[in-house]
Structure 1
Amino acid sequence: MGKKKRVLIGICIFLVLVVGYATYYLNTYYRSSEEADKFIKSDDQVAVKEIKEGYFFDGPGDDKALIFYPGGKVETKAYARLMNKLAKEEIDTFLLNMPFRLAVLNKNAADKIISKYQYDTYYMGGHSLGGVMVILMC
């Protein structure tokens, strides 16, 4: 076997390993408990709607909203309890889905929310990597 062929085989093996590891890494993440499911549903105080960008928690307030970026490799629903509680306190909340659960891949996601919905005041927040992306947008 020639030197060029060995190098080509080595590169192919390397690429297969990198793609395999990347696939594994992107598909392992913190999953929320089943308890989170009850907070993703509407009740008598908060209407929860699944929107293209994630989830919208529409509480009794109508002038303030929080746009929340989840932490890296954390299932979006893990924050449902907090978003539901804030909505009950008159701060509507938008809990955003991120590609591969990494906010770094969609740091300007809030722009879509702000252009679609009309609130007097928007708050931005995030957990871990999501918080870093919020800071970098400002």
Structure 2
Amino acid sequence: MRCETVVLAVVLAASCRPAPGQDVVSYKDLKGTQFREYQLTITIDSFDCEAVIGKKCRMAVTVENKGEKPEPFNGTQFSLDNGKGTTYRAVPPEGTSAASLKRELPPGASAQFVVLFDGRIYFDRRDPAHLRYGNASKVRIIK
């Protein structure tokens, strides 16, 4: 049970037992992770982040409104916490504006979004990292 708790709280950890001395971390296993935010179900389609200085982390998500009322989504509300107290906000891909990450989804509708995170992110596998949306302390994982 302790390992399950760690995996949910440490959304970005590659495994429950980190490999000692490894500097480059891959988070590609986040593909398929789902969480809820009000009426929205958000699925991570891909997460490409090798935590190499200078490379931007890229996350693609599909957002579906499972409710009965229109629900706003704002991709710039995503943030990563590297576990050392530094938070990195999501930004739109180069050549697009922040408005492209904002949309009101009618009931039953879905849309895909791509966000980037600052390339200066440094993750240490010994410290827990968190993915957040909005003001939530952490995302609420469904599966």
TM-score (norm 2): 0.25
| Structure with more contact order per residue of length (Cα contacts < 8 Å, sep ≥ 6) | 2
Relative to its length, the structure with more strand (as a share) is 2
Rg (Cα) greater in structure: 1
TM-score (norm 1): 0.26
Relative to its length, the structure with more helix (as a share) is 1
